[in-house]
């Protein structure tokens, strides 16, 4: 009799985009979701070899679908000449996050959920079998409490704060680009990334008229002018012909990294939590949110995940202030420039 291999957290994560696809359909939320596939360009020949070997391992071990794109064939994938080939991951895609967010809020409200914005929780205390939740506007009692504060986790939750590393991620939107240029630069309208250490990610806007280009910012504070400059430089490395294209929008927010690069869901001191999506929280946070909700309802079968067993690590002396991250990011920027 064949013994079924237990699902690992890696196997499970392959299904996150399927989950979003099914969820949007079953909840009837229109968020411009498209399964475009993802092109990842190799910045060096050695990166290409490593990416091709990695794809083969993923294909064999957990059925990831994708293909290797040799440099000679890459003009079918990208108008950039920066890359030494790359790989395509067929299962990935993109959506319009604001439409997704609005759709989720509308669904929750229709189910009778009260959402109170701009009302920070300042303390959570166990009182008998309940929790007393304090805010500047008053207190409330809860039977169950979930902390989903991700990179914004504050001093109220020190045991979680010391387990996540906040980093700022920023994006720019270009002005409208001529359709023939869009087709040349991004022929298959895929979401894209590359092999640099300092993550860069880009895609056509959902209406296909602009390029949205994102990456990590250096500091924790928002600095829109500096972020726009850095991202414009990164974008023109990929697409030199966009040098004179104006940037119309820049925005940013904090994303939460973890010491093991994995997202985490569980309980700490009786409080449920889900966080640490390492910059890829659109599908992950939605999936973990559902798992956490099942756990809170006592439905252990539906709430079970291979991520349950992952220890949520921290480091000695780290309390949630990532003072060392600008130096770490600058080192990775230098390593990218030196091709290390």
Ligand X SMILES: Cc1cc2nc3c(=O)[nH]c(=O)nc-3n(C[C@H](O)[C@H](O)[C@H](O)COP(=O)(O)OP(=O)(O)OC[C@H]3O[C@@H](n4cnc5c(N)ncnc54)[C@H](O)[C@@H]3O)c2cc1C
Say whether residue 282 binds ligand X (CB under 6 A).
Answer: yes
Give the nearest residue (CB) to ligand X: 281
Q: Is residue 27 within 8 Å of residue 33, measured between CB atoms?
A: no
Tell which one of 36, 80, 169, 195 touches ligand X (CB under 6 A): 169
CB of 76 to ligand X, least distance (A): 23
Stretch that binds ligand X, among 54-62, 280-288, 315-323, 328-336 (CB under 6 A): 280-288
Q: In the sheet that 200-204 helps form, which strands lie side by side, from edge to edge?
A: 66-69, 86-89, 38-41, 191-194, 200-204, 211-216, 165-174, 247-257
The torsion angles phi and psi of 308, rounded to 5 degrees, stand at -60, -35
> Is residue 145 close enough to count as binding ligand X by CB under 6 A?
no
Please state, in angstroms and as integers, the Cα–Cα distance from residue 269 to each residue in 127, 248, 307, following that order: 13, 46, 18
DSSP codes of every residue in 75-123:
GGT-S-SS-S-EEEETT--B--HHHHHHHHHHHHHHTT-----S----E
Q: Which residues contact 25 (CB under 8 A, 6 or more apart)?
A: none
43 binds ligand X (CB under 6 A): no
Residue with Cβ nearer ligand X (48 or 285): 285
CA distances for 291 relative to 92, 198, 287, 295, angstroms: 21, 31, 6, 6
CB of 21 to ligand X, least distance (A): 14
Binders of ligand X among residues 170 to 209 (CB under 6 A) are 170-171, 201
Q: What residues from 102 to 121 belong to the interface with ligand X (CB under 6 A)?
A: 120-121
Q: Which two tokens stand for residue 52?
A: 């091709």
Nearer to ligand X, 96 or 188 (CB): 96
Contact between 79 and ligand X by CB under 6 A: the answer reads no
Interaction between residue 15 and ligand X (CB under 6 A): no
Q: Does 255 bind ligand X (CB under 6 A)?
A: yes
Residues that bind ligand X (CB under 6 A): 120-121, 148-152, 154, 156, 169-171, 201, 214, 252-253, 255, 275, 277, 279-283, 285
């Amino acid at each position: 009799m064949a013994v079924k291999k237990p699902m690992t957290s890696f196997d499970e994560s392959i299904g996150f985009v399927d989950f979003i696809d099914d969820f949007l359909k079953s909840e009837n939320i229109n968020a411009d979701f498209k399964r475009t596939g993802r092109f990842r360009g190799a910045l060096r020949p050695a990166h290409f070899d490593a990416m091709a070997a990695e794809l083969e391992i993923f294909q064999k071990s957990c059925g990831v679908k994708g293909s290797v794109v040799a440099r000679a064939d890459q003009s079918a994938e990208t108008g950039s000449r920066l890359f030494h080939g790359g790989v395509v991951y067929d299962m990935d895609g993109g959506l319009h996050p604001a439409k997704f967010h609005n759709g989720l809020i509308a669904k929750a409200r229709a189910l009778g959920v009260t959402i109170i914005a701009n009302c920070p929780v300042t303390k959570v205390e166990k009182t008998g079998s309940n929790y007393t939740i304090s805010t500047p506007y008053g207190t409330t009692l809860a039977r169950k409490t979930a902390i989903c504060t991700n990179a914004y986790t504050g001093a109220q939750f020190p045991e979680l704060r010391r387990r996540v590393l906040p980093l700022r991620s920023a994006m720019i939107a270009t002005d409208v680009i001529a359709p023939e240029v869009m087709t040349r630069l991004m022929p298959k309208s895929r979401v894209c990334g590359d092999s640099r250490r300092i993550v860069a990610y880009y895609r056509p806007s959902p209406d296909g008229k602009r390029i949205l280009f994102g990456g990590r910012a250096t500091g924790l504070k928002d600095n829109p002018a500096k972020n726009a400059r850095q991202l414009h430089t990164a974008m023109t490395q990929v697409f030199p012909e966009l040098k004179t294209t104006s940037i119309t929008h820049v925005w940013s927010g904090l994303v939460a990294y973890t010491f093991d690069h994995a997202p985490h869901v569980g309980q700490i001191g009786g409080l449920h939590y889900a966080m640490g999506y390492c910059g890829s929280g659109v599908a992950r946070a939605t999936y973990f949110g559902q798992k956490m909700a099942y756990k809170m309802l006592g439905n252990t079968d539906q709430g079970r995940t291979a991520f349950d067993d992952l220890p949520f690590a921290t480091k000695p002396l780290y309390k949630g202030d990532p003072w060392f991250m600008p130096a770490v990011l600058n080192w990775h920027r230098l390593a990218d420039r030196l091709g290390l």
